[in-house]
Amino acid sequence: MQIKIKSLLSITLLSFVTLVKANVILPSIFSDHMVLQQKTTVSIWGWAKALEEVKITVSWDPHKEYKKVTDITSAWSFDIETPAAGGPYQITVQGYNTIVINDVLIGEVWLGSGQSNMEWTPAMTIDHGEEEKLKANYPQIRFFTVLPWANPTPQKHLTGQWVVCTPESMYYFSALMYFFGRDIHEKLNVPVGLISSSWGGSPAEVWIPEDSIENNDLLKQSATTLTPVRWSPIEPAQLYNTMIYPLIPYKVKGVLWYQGESNTRNADNYKLTLSTLIHSWRSAWGYDFPFYIVQIAPWSGYGNDNVSGAVVRDQQRQIPEAVSNTGLVVVSDIGNLEDIHPRNKIDVGKRLAAWALHNDYGFNIAFSGPLYQSYEIKKDKVIIYFKHSDGGLVTKDGELTEFEIYNGNQWLPAPAKIKGATVEITIKSVGTLKGIRFGYKNDSNPNLFNKALLPASCFEVLIDR
């Protein structure tokens, strides 16, 4: 009996010692099936017992060993060079315990964030969702979905796991991110890692670090105009702290953003809000990654003024003018005026991919619809010039519509016609021209396109004369 007790004590003591020593911990973003950005320096980090030696080896460079002894903070981090796309590889992390990460691919990593139109999955019903599900066997595409939670202070950990793209995993992942990633994978023939971190109904303020808003009086005041709702936090930084901050500095090629529907209440400040978000994220990551925005689609339910949705769209249009290395996807032609969640996610993903393929991967393809550039007054006409109108402009479904002129008191419909790559507006009906706008209602469905059949963005220009 005494021998049995001693034996039990020995086992218990050994288990306790093992538990005490098993201190190496990794964030969940580092796990089997992960994708690391190719041909760059990536950070791999975690925690261990103070003064514990941590070693990392990677199978793409097996003769090199990274090691350091942790300090009193218990945190450790290594900067590791990655090769050109390939894999699968293995990463071994060793302290008192050993963690082996298997099936690691090297390729292109993109982060997607925003509200429900970003997180919308094929399982929630999308156009052609069931048939696309059956085709979704792409073992070199990997998904990581950040599970939603909120907190007023920055967190070190988040919850999620990398999964291989199969019909089943694709069905419950961001639809537009999948279609984006599939195009990137097929055009580049490299592995693609997609990280989805979104929350339905969330305003942009919750995705911005608290000090970025606190240090700007206009943003601080604007945030107070948001109305509490049952489905999302509205306090600044609540989701940045839990769903973005723990990802930093995981190396990403770029960011996709689809949000704005929940900022129609403070629409006039959306350009500043989103610009601040972009700058704060880039500052946190330490480099100016590309940031591609999906403009919110027209919808009749944005508000009684019938204009706040258009204001957000116009504010989004101005981001590429104000912030470098950004782009805008216009979806006015593939929305649903009766549904805030348009079900055509395939074309949204493809249009996002076109921006990345052209700007970041060197493909000579059409990637943007016409964007307002400038105007010129000639007698009783105004000439509107557009970016991305090479080859000329076209209309769908008859006469050009949705142009208006402002006489200082009201907006009036204005006759307009295409002249090559420009639009010519007749202003005979207005005494003093004070403004021009296009597609400027919540439920506008304009019919101006470039030759690639990509739609023009709405815009408003006020004229002081």
Query: Where a domain ends, among 302, 337, 359?
Result: 359
Given a cut of 50, whether residue 360 has pLDDT beyond it is yes
- What is the predicted pLDDT for the residue at 465? 63
pLDDT band of residue 213 (cuts 50, 70, 90) is very high
Does 137 share its domain with 164? yes
Mean pLDDT for 292-309 is: 93
- pLDDT of 63-82, one tens digit each? 999 999 999 999 999 999 99
Does 56 share its domain with 180? no
> How buried is residue 105: exposed, middle or buried, by Cβ count under 10 Å (0-12/13-18/19+)?
buried
Find the CATH number of the domain harbouring 54. Answer: 2.60.40.10
Domain assignment of residue 7, yes or no = no
The dihedral built from the CA positions of residue 271, 115, 300 and 368, taken in this order, carries a sign that is positive
Given a cut of 90, whether residue 12 has pLDDT beyond it is no
Does 194 share its domain with 273? yes
- What is the predicted pLDDT for the residue at 464? 81
Given a cut of 50, whether residue 312 has pLDDT beyond it is yes
Does 354 share its domain with 376? no
Query: How many structural domains are present in the chain?
Result: 3
Find the CATH number of the domain harbouring 262. Answer: 3.40.50.1110
Does 237 share its domain with 343? yes
Domain assignment of residue 187, yes or no = yes
Nearest to 91 by CA among 44, 134, 138: 44
Does 256 share its domain with 339? yes
- Nearest 10 degrees: Cα torsion 252, 36, 33, 344: 30
Given a cut of 90, whether residue 184 has pLDDT beyond it is yes
- pLDDT of 217-245, one tens digit each? 999 999 999 999 999 999 999 999 999 99
- What is the predicted pLDDT for the residue at 304? 81
Does 318 share its domain with 408? no
Helix (H, G, I), strand (E, B) or coil at 301: coil
Does 219 share its domain with 244? yes
- What is the predicted pLDDT for the residue at 15? 37
Domain range enclosing 286: 106-359
Does 98 share its domain with 117? no
Nearest to 109 by CA among 73, 88, 85, 134: 85
Domain assignment of residue 6, yes or no = no
Tokens of 236: 């600044």
pLDDT band of residue 432 (cuts 50, 70, 90) is confident
Does 68 share its domain with 153? no
Given a cut of 60, whether residue 133 has pLDDT beyond it is yes
Mean pLDDT for 309-322 is: 98
Given a cut of 50, whether residue 11 has pLDDT beyond it is no
Query: Where a domain ends, among 104, 121, 154?
Result: 104
pTM assigned to the model = 0.94
- What is the predicted pLDDT for the residue at 429? 76
Listed range (126-130, 212-216, 299-303) with the worst mean pLDDT: 299-303
Query: Where a domain ends, among 104, 138, 157?
Result: 104
- pLDDT of 89-123, one tens digit each? 999 999 999 999 999 999 999 999 999 999 999 99
Q: How many angstroms separate the Cα of 83 from the Cα of each of 30, 39, 87, 317?
A: 18, 5, 10, 37
Domain assignment of residue 9, yes or no = no
Does 336 share its domain with 274? yes
Largest CA distance in the chain: 109
